[in-house]
Amino acid sequence: MEEQGAAEPPPAPRPLLLPAELLRSRKGRLLLAESVLSFIIFICYIASQATSFMMAPLLEFLLALFLFFAYASKLNEKFKGLYWPLMDFLRCVSAAIIYFAISIAAVSKYNDGASKAAGVFGFIATIVYAIDFYITFNDLVTFLKQGSSDSPEGHKSEDEDSNSDSD
C-alpha cells in the first residue's frame, strides 16, 4: 500500500504553464502587458460606437500573444533565420503609431463611454509599446555595433586589394 502512495503523479502539461523565467524578464512582462492591454482595448471597441477600430487591437493582441509564446517556447533560438529583435521592433513601432492615432480619433470623435475608455487604454498601450520599442532599439544598436566592429577589417582588406590593382 505504501508503494501505491509513493507513486509519482502524472506529469502536468508543461507547455500550457507560463514559464517563470519569461515572466520575470522585462521583455516577458512587456509582452504580457501589451497583450492584456490590446485585449481590453479590443473589448472596449466592440462595445463602443467605434467598432471600425476593433481590428487593430485584435491584430496587436494576436501578435503580442504569438511573440509571448514564441519567446516562452524559445522559438527565437530555434529559428535563427529570422532576426527576432528587428521583427519585434517593427511590431512595436507600428503598434505605438496605430494606437496613438486611433486613440485620438476615438476620444475626439465618439461620445460614448466605451470609446473614451478604449482611447484612454490606447494611450496607455502607446506608452507601453513605446517603452518596448525603445528597449528593443537599444538591443538593435548593440547588435549593429558588434556587427560593425567585425566588418571594417574585412572591408579594409578588400579596399587595399582594389587600390593596389588600380596602380
Alpha carbon 38 to chain centroid, angstroms: 12
Q: Which of 165, 166, 167, 99 is closest to 132 using CA atoms?
A: 99
Q: What is the mean pLDDT of each run of 10 residues along the chain (167 residues)?
A: 60 59 83 94 92 92 90 82 84 95 93 93 96 90 74 48 51
Structure confidence at residue 17 (pLDDT): 60
Structure confidence at residue 11 (pLDDT): 59
Residue linked to cell 556587427: 147
Entry field: residues in the chain: 167
Structure confidence at residue 68 (pLDDT): 86
Q: Which residue ranges make up each domain of the chain? A: 21-72+83-147
Structure confidence at residue 37 (pLDDT): 95
